[in-house]
């Protein structure tokens, strides 16, 4: 390899910037992945739930006698069985508590009532059918505004008399918290005196991450050595270990949590679910391994939903369109328990990023969390915490303001963008944006799609429509988003008290290959590919010779897991820092071997070279061997490093998305003609994986905007419990995407990377939705709520009188 | 999502299958492609003690194309699409079959299961009414033939007795223009509204027209009046409006996640108008 040129050696590493193929895909594309449900153990039992048919009811009785009598049934657990252990309720990540099994009443359809443990899943299913639950129905509240009315039914009787919650005062028996940020008086004064104020209610409907693999676990308590092993669909395995220890009293050293291959998470697999608790208890009681696996209906009906935010907004501006203030009040429907997965001090996540990409001098946000008879959750579905809600809100408010001003919304965005020279930028709601160049990205995007020509075509289409020549309308959906990811600095971000650092531990083997372990866990992101690339560039070891391991708490260093696009910003930083520790020691070893001072060496791709004497060098491979076979004065043998990285700030990826859509005014059918996505995620590690992430996130955004929802009827029945009614796009519905980029590194991240997995969802939803709105803007539409499925689009046309 | 225990039967002849049905009465059900039956079994919405799988019965397969078309009940949607003679003789069938779900479903889903189940969401029943097909039923006392237009009573309720098996579908060889126009939310979904049209013309004027609608009532709807409204016309706006108005008299859609009644009625009119235009253009 010494004959290779500098460029050939760089290429051979497959380091930063290489579109290296994903090392995971060999097994995934051949059906050789190892998921939780692939785990089979001798004597393993199966557990499953009796679930509530009603959204709100008192449980009069549960008759399990026939089920228990069925051969193969081991036991049926109810709340009373868990109560002596204190496990009939469990704490949520949001500071609330949640029933593990129904304690006297049920609060949503699909709630867990009893846990059946049987020899296999077939017997389990038969036993569930034999259990008779007697309900006394109670009045149901599915509307958060009705839930806050004075005479509304009391949902959480367990909180009776409690006027303080985890986040301050509760003002009503169905109220969870009020969270306020910014300058309320100042903002309201600006709004009162503004030239122009646009006011709108923007609803981001309830939807669901719906990963292809549902949630599940296998719990195995070894009564001989006292060790509990828990395999499961966990996006944060170390946090699960800590919670399991705190709840069970088993020392954390005697608990091993393993996340095997995970078939998509999207926030759905961050929380702790009753199934995990019941499987652990069942294994402890029986001394046998117990598996619990949800089916699709369980997952859609009971396991964490996302969004359900009613966002009332006022945006103030000068007559010329310069924004002067932003006011927002959110009514947040959290369902029966506050089980949001947010950093502890942020009950509405990072929603206060809702000033978006704009230089807004003053702003205020207030959020009221509300209980309803719907499933708990509120997770970050392919977005950082409540960031997609925030981006949707501001990108709709920009459009609403543009209508009020009679302006083109592309120009309105341009005159309000934070300027390049303002970074690091302090937002009115307290965030410090690390870096950005919004104008460059916006101009590149508008040029790429031929924006002016599109507007001209649209104007002709409107004229043709009005003249009766066509029944097709055309929408141009603009979106410019700023994400806030990489939670986060330990000083203000924690999950259940655990600071949101992350970690990497590296071992360089004597022959020059390496093993690195991280506190994160891939669910499809391709960590085994990209983290090896970071290390390849840092250490000069080819990525193909670096094995990445995650997800086993017995071997991986403590980390907070993978969600909120935090893996690259936090664990990726830890990886680079650990790599630099390796390189620092390698430099000392090389200096010894070359008999020069450390400072006389310089790094060159994969080796240390004596300055000015290019023929004198030691490669990383030679150095690694020396670390194990030579006694080097003043140095310990071996070549290992560990880094725990506490990020100084979040990272702020951004991007410009433009969707062009043709809409059939008569049927409500929307055809996505084109979708352009420009992402700036800072330094790009693997462009191919970035493109894949953008395709995936944009497809989920398409689904959410155009049809995907969790809907309830007035009785609290979930109307969308199967994939017949819950929209999961196939290849046939999915649009074609054009991806593009600019590259503005993060100034505080070791390699300048910002994270990308969630940007396309955050930016994509407003792009699709704005396209629908834009098509009808010439006919007087200001705001219409998602999802924009056929009948809702048809309703817009109908209400605007377009059906003659 | 796990069905109750059941006995699985796999007869090789029609008499053997009928014998199982006779022996077990309403505890037995036949299964063809299984796309409707297996999900309801998994959800335990139906309790079937004896499942009679028809896939090994050779006499239920095969397509013959003459003046009369005969299609074995166990013919898959995939076979309907790829059978060259059938596609030439009844192009409407392939056009509709291509709008049913996805290739994986069409490899298993059968025309017999589709028409016999009585699900108003299925595409083939309306199509069979449009084409004036007849269903051949075999039972313990022999074989009888029922017109598709007389077969459906209500959702999942048909002329077929519980001890009968649908063995084949017969139809006269159609001629003229045709179209199947379907609006759906996504691949794999039932129609929000769909219209089947088959028509003939003499000297630029419609001579015969047959119109059927899918998923717009608890049964597929053959609208004789809609067809009659087109006869003698050139399918201009007045005629189409008359056909749509007549069709709207015959349907009775319900609200569901696809939308409210007024939306479905509107879309029913739109898809019928488009189907008529396409059929007329193919004359």
Q: What's the pLDDT tens digit per position in B149-203? A: 999 999 999 999 999 999 999 999 999 999 999 999 999 999 999 999 999 999 9
Same structural domain for residues B49 and B133?
no
B33 domain residue, yes or no: yes
The whole-number pLDDT of residue A1 equals 46
Q: Within the 131-190 window of chain B, which residues sit less than 8 Å (CB to CB) from chain A?
A: 183, 185-189
Active site annotation includes A538 = no
Residue A215 annotated in active site: no
Query: The domain A306-486+650-799 is classified under which CATH number: 3.40.30.10, 3.40.50.720, 3.30.365.10, 3.40.50.1000?
Result: 3.30.365.10
Measured distance CA(A337)–CA(B277) in Å, rounded: 54
Q: How far is CA A228 from CA A277, A556, A703, B110, B216, in A?
A: 12, 17, 40, 50, 56
Cα–Cα distance measured from residue B97 to residue B95, given in angstroms and rounded to the nearest whole number: 6
Q: Give the pLDDT confidence of A171-225 residue by residue, as tens digits.
A: 999 999 999 999 999 999 999 999 999 999 999 999 999 999 999 999 999 999 9
Would you state the pLDDT for residue A661? 98
Q: How far is A295 from chain B (nearest CA, A)?
A: 7
Give the pLDDT band of residue A248 (cuts 50, 70, 90): confident
For residues B78 and B41, state if they share a domain. no
* Local structure of A283: helix, strand or coil: helix
Instruction: Give CATH 3.30.365.10 domain extents, chain A.
Output: 6-33+502-645, 306-486+650-799
CB contacts of B262 in chain A (<8 Å) are 798
Tens of pLDDT, residue by residue over A582-596, are 999 999 999 999 999
Output the domain CATH number for residue B108. 3.30.465.10
DSSP conformation class of A152: P
Cβ contact, residue pair A296, B267, below 8 Å = no
Q: Note whether B73 and B46 are same-domain residues.
A: no
Q: Do B257 and A666 touch (CB under 8 A)?
A: no
Distances in whole angstroms, Cα of residue A46 to Cα of each of A263, A783, B116: 21, 49, 38
Size of interface A-B (CB pairs under 8 A): 64
Q: B2 vs A125: CB contact, 8 Å cut-off?
A: yes
Q: What is the DSSP letter of A109?
A: T
**Which string of DSSP letters, residue by residue, matches A628-654?**
HHS--TT--SS-EEEEEE--SS-B--E
A303 near A341, Cβ under 8 Å? Answer: no
Active site residue A235: yes
Q: Are residues B167 and B188 in the same domain?
A: no
The mean per-residue pLDDT over the stretch B103-124 comes to 95
Q: In three state form, how does the secondary structure of B182-245 look?
A: EEECCCCCCEEEEEEEEEEEECCEEEEEEEEEECCCCCCEECHHHHHHHCCCCCCHHHHHHHHH
State residue A588's pLDDT score. 97
Q: What is the pLDDT of residue A247?
A: 86
The C-alpha atoms of residue A462 and residue A458 are separated, in whole angstroms, by 6
Is residue B37 situated within a structural domain?
yes
Q: Which residues pair with B31 in a beta bridge?
A: B53
Query: Per the structure, how many domains does chain B have?
Result: 3
Per-residue pLDDT for A2 more than 80?
no
SS3 of B54, please? coil
A75 touches chain B (CB under 8 A): no
Please tell me whether residues B206 and B227 are part of one structural domain: yes
Domain match, B201 and B228 both: yes
Q: pLDDT, tens digit, for every residue of B120-148?
A: 999 999 999 999 999 999 999 999 999 99
User: Which segments of chain A belong to CATH 3.90.1170.50?
Assistant: 36-139+215-293
B21-30 burial: b if 16+ Cβ within 10 Å, else e? beebeeebbb
Q: Which residues in chain A touch residue B271, judged by CB atoms under 8 angstroms apart?
A: 667
Say whether both B202 and B259 belong to one domain.
Answer: yes
- Rounded Cα–Cα distance for residues A30 and A25 (Å): 8
Collapsing DSSP states into helix, strand and coil, what is residue A36?
helix
Residue-wise pLDDT tens digits, A284-320: 999 999 999 999 999 999 999 999 999 999 999 999 9
Inter-chain CB proximity B4 and A129 less than 8 Å? yes
- B121 within domain boundaries: yes
pLDDT digits (tens, 9 = 90+) for A22-36: 999 999 999 999 999
| Mean pLDDT, residues A706-735 | 96
CATH number for the domain harbouring residue B188:
3.30.390.50
Q: What's the pLDDT score for residue B78?
A: 96
Q: Do A129 and B44 touch (CB under 8 A)?
A: yes
DSSP notation for B80-136: HHH-HHHHHH-HHHHHHHTTSS-HHHHHH-BHHHHHHS--TT-SHHHHHHHTT-EEE
**Percent over 70 (pLDDT), chain A:** 100
pLDDT in tens, A638-653: 999 999 999 999 999 9
Residue A582 has phi, psi (to 5 degrees) of -60, -45
Q: Are residues B29 and B120 in the same domain?
A: no
Using omega within 30 degrees of 0 as the cis cutoff, is the peptide bond preceding A787 cis? yes
**Min CA distance, B183 vs chain A (Å)?**
8
- Measured between CA atoms, how close is B66 to chain A, in angstroms? 36
* Residues A121, B44: C-beta atoms closer than 8 Å: no
Q: Is residue A119 annotated as a catalytic residue, yes or no?
A: no
Which are the contacts of B129, defined by CB distance < 8 A and separation ≥ 6? Answer: B148, B149, B196, B210, B212, B220, B221, B222
% residues pLDDT > 90 (chain A):
97
Asked if the Cβ–Cβ distance from A789 to B187 is below 8 Å, we say no
**Distance from chain centroid for Cα A577:** 25
In chain B, % of residues over pLDDT 90: 98
Same domain, B162 and B199: no
Boundary residue ending a domain (B151, B172, B193): B172
Range of the structural domain that residue B38 is part of: 7-53
Shortest Cα distance, chain A CAs vs residue B268, angstroms: 9
Q: Which of A121, A789, A795 sits opposite B185 (nearest CB)?
A: A789
Nearest to A791 among B186, B259, B271 (CB): B259
Q: Chain A: nearest CA to B212, how far in angstroms?
A: 19
Let me know if domain A6-33+502-645 sits in CATH 3.10.20.90.
no
The mean predicted confidence, pLDDT, of chain A is 96
A794–B263: do the CB atoms touch at under 8 Å? yes
User: What average pLDDT does the segment A244-262 reach?
Assistant: 95
- Is B207 a domain residue? yes
Q: Do the Cβ atoms of A296 and B266 come within 8 Å?
A: no
Per-residue pLDDT at A497: 87
Partners of residue A125 in chain B, C-beta under 8 Å: 1-2
Taking contacts as CB-CB distances below 8 angstroms, the residues of chain B near A798 are 262-263, 266
Q: Looking at residue A37, what DSSP letter applies?
A: G
Mean pLDDT (whole number) for A727-732: 94
The reply to whether residue B259 touches residue A790, judged by beta carbons under 8 angstroms, is yes
| Distance in angstroms (rounded) separating the CA atoms of residues B261 and B107 | 33
Enumerate residues 42 to 81 of chain B having a beta carbon within 8 A of any beta carbon in chain A.
Answer: 44
Residue B44 included in any domain: yes
User: What's the fold here for domain A36-139+215-293?
Assistant: Aldehyde Oxidoreductase; domain 3 (3.90.1170)
- Which residues of A fall within a CB distance of 8 Å from B265? none
Question: Which among B37, B53, B69 is the end of a domain?
Answer: B53
Spatial distance between the Cα atoms of A665 and A786, rounded to a whole number of angstroms: 17
- For strand B68-72 and strand B165-172, is the pairing parallel, antiparallel, or unpaired? antiparallel
Q: Looking at B136, B155, B172, which one is the last position of a domain?
A: B172
**A456/A462 Cα distance (integer angstroms):** 10
- For chain A, the C-alpha Rg in angstroms (whole number) is 28
Residue A560: alpha-carbon gap to chain centroid: 13
Instruction: Determine the Cα–Cα distance for residues B29 and B47; give it in Å rounded to an integer.
Output: 10
- Is A739:A755 a contact under the CB 8 Å cutoff? no
- The beta-carbon neighbor of A707 closest among B185, B262, B263 is B185
Residue A240: is its pLDDT beyond 80?
Answer: yes
Residue B75: count of CB within 10 angstroms of its CB: 21
Which entry of A383, A493, A504, A681 is annotated as an active-site residue? A383
pLDDT tens, position by position, A510-562: 999 999 999 999 999 999 999 999 999 999 999 999 999 999 999 999 999 99
- Which CATH number is B25's domain given? 3.30.43.10
The answer on B274 and B214 residing in a single domain is: yes
Mutate to test the interface with A, among B263, B265, B273 (most CBs of A within 10 A): B263
In a domain, B214, yes or no: yes
In a domain, B2, yes or no: no
List phi, psi (to 5°) of A526: 90, 35
Asked if residue B196 belongs to a domain, the reply is yes
């Amino acid at each position: 390899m010494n004959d290779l040129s500098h460029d050939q050696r760089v290429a051979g590493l497959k380091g930063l910037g290489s579109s290296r193929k994903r090392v995971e895909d060999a097994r995934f594309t051949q059906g050789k992945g190892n998921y939780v449900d692939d785990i089979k153990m001798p004597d393993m039992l199966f557990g499953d739930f009796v679930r509530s048919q009603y959204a709100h009811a008192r449980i009069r009785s549960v008759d399990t006698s026939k089920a228990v009598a069925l051969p193969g049934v081991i036991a049926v657990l109810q709340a009373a069985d868990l109560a002596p252990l204190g496990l009939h309720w469990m704490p949520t990540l949001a500071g609330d508590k949640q029933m593990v099994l129904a304690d006297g009443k049920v609060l949503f359809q699909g709630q867990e009532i009893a846990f059946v443990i049987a020899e296999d899943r077939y017997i389990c299913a038969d036993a569930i059918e034999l259990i008779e639950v007697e309900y006394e129905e109670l009045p149901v509240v599915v509307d958060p505004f009705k839930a806050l009315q004075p005479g509304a039914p009391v949902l959480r009787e367990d909180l009776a008399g409690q006027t303080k919650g985890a986040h301050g005062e509760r003002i009503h028996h169905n109220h969870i918290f009020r969270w306020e940020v910014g300058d309320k008086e100042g903002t309201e004064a600006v709004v009162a005196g503004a030239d122009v104020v646009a006011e709108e209610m923007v609803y981001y409907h309830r939807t669901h991450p719906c990963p292809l693999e549902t949630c599940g676990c296998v719990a195995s308590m070894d009564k001989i050595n006292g060790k509990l092993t828990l395999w499961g669909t966990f996006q944060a395995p170390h946090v699960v270990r800590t919670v399991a220890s705190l709840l069970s009293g088993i020392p954390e050293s005697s608990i091993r949590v393993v996340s095997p291959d995970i078939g998509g998470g999207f926030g759905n697999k961050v929380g702790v679910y009753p199934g995990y608790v019941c499987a652990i208890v069942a294994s402890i009681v029986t001394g046998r391994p117990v598996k619990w696996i949800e089916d699709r209906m369980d997952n859609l009906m009971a396991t964490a939903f996302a969004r359900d935010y009613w966002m009332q907004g006022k945006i103030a501006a000068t007559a010329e369109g310069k924004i002067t203030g932003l006011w927002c009040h959110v009514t947040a429907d959290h369902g029966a328990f506050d089980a949001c997965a947010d950093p502890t001090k942020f009950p509405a996540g990072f929603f206060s990023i809702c000033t978006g990409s704009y230089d807004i001098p003053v702003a205020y946000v207030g959020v009221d969390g509300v209980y309803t008879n719907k499933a708990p959750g509120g997770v970050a579905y392919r977005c950082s915490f409540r960031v997609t809600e925030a981006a949707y809100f501001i990108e709709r408010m920009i459009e609403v303001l543009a209508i009020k001003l009679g302006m083109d919304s592309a120009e309105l965005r341009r005159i309000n963008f934070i300027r390049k020279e303002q970074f690091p930028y302090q937002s009115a709601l307290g965030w410090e944006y690390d870096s950005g160049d919004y104008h460059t990205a916006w101009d590149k995007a508008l040029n790429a799609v031929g924006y002016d020509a599109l507007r001209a075509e649209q104007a002709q289409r409107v004229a043709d429509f009005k003249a009766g020549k066509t029944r097709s309308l055309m929408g141009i959906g603009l979106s410019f988003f700023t994400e806030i990811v990489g939670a986060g600095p330990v000083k203000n971000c924690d999950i259940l008290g655990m600071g949101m650092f992350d970690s990497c531990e590296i071992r360089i083997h004597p022959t020059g290959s390496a093993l690195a372990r991280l506190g994160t866990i891939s669910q499809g992101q391709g960590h085994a590919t990209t983290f090896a690339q970071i290390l390849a560039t840092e250490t000069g070891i080819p990525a193909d010779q670096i094995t990445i391991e995650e997800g086993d708490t017995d071997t991986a260093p403590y980390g907070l897991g993978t969600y909120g696009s935090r893996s690259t910003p936090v664990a990726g930083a830890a990886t680079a820092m650990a790599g630099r520790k390796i390189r620092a020691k390698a430099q000392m070893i090389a200096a010894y071997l070359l008999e020069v001072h450390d400072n006389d060496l310089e790094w060159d791709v994969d080796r240390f070279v004596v300055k000015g004497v290019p023929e004198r060098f030691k490669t990383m491979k030679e150095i690694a061997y020396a670390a194990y076979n030579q006694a080097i004065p003043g140095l310990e043998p071996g070549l290992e490093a560990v880094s725990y990285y506490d990020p100084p700030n979040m990272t702020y990826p951004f991007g410009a998305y433009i969707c062009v859509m043709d809409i059939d005014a008569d049927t409500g059918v929307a055809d996505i003609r084109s979708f352009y996505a420009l992402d700036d995620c800072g330094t790009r590690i693997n462009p191919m994986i970035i493109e894949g992430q953008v395709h995936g996130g944009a497809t989920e955004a398409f689904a959410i905007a155009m049809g995907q929802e969790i809907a309830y009827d007035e009785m609290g029945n979930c109307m969308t419990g199967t994939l017949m009614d819950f929209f999961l796009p196939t290849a046939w519905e999915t649009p074609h995407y054009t991806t593009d980029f600019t590259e503005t590194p993060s100034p505080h991240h070791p390699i300048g990377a910002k994270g990308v997995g969630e940007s396309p969802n955050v930016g994509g939803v407003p792009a699709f939705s704005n396209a629908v709105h834009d098509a009808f803007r010439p006919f007087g539409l200001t705001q219409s709520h998602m999802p924009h499925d056929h009948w809702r689009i048809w309703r817009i046309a109908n209400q605007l009188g377009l059906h003659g | 999502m796990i069905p109750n225990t059941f006995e699985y039967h796999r007869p090789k002849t029609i008499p053997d299958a009928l014998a199982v049905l006779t022996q077990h009465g309403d505890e037995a059900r036949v299964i063809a492609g299984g796309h409707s039956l297996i999900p309801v079994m998994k959800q335990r919405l139906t309790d079937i003690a004896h499942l009679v799988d028809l896939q090994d019965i050779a006499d239920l397969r095969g397509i013959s194309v003459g003046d009369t078309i005969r299609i074995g009940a166990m013919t898959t949607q995939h076979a309907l699409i790829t059978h060259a003679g059938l596609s030439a003789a009844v192009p409407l069938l392939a056009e509709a079959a291509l709008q049913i779900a996805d290739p994986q479903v069409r490899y298993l889903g059968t025309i017999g299961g589709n028409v016999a189940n009585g699900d108003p969401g299925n595409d083939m029943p309306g199509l069979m009414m449009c084409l004036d097909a007849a269903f051949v039923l075999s039972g313990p006392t022999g074989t009888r033939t029922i017109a598709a237009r007389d077969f459906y009573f209500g959702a999942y309720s048909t002329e077929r007795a519980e001890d009968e098996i649908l063995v084949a579908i017969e139809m006269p060889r159609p001629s003229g223009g045709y179209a199947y126009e379907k609006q759906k939310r996504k691949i794999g979904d039932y129609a929000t509204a769909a219209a089947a049209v088959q028509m003939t013309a003499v000297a630029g004027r419609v001579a015969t027209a047959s119109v059927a609608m899918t998923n717009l009532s608890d049964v597929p709807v053959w609208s004789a009046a809609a067809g009659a409204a087109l006869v003698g016309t050139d399918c201009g706006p007045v005629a189409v409006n008359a056909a749509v108005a007549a069709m709207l008299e015959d349907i009775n859609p319900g609200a569901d996640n696809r939308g409210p009644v007024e939306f479905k009625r509107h879309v029913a009119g739109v898809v019928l108008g488009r189907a008529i235009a396409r059929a007329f253009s193919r004359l």
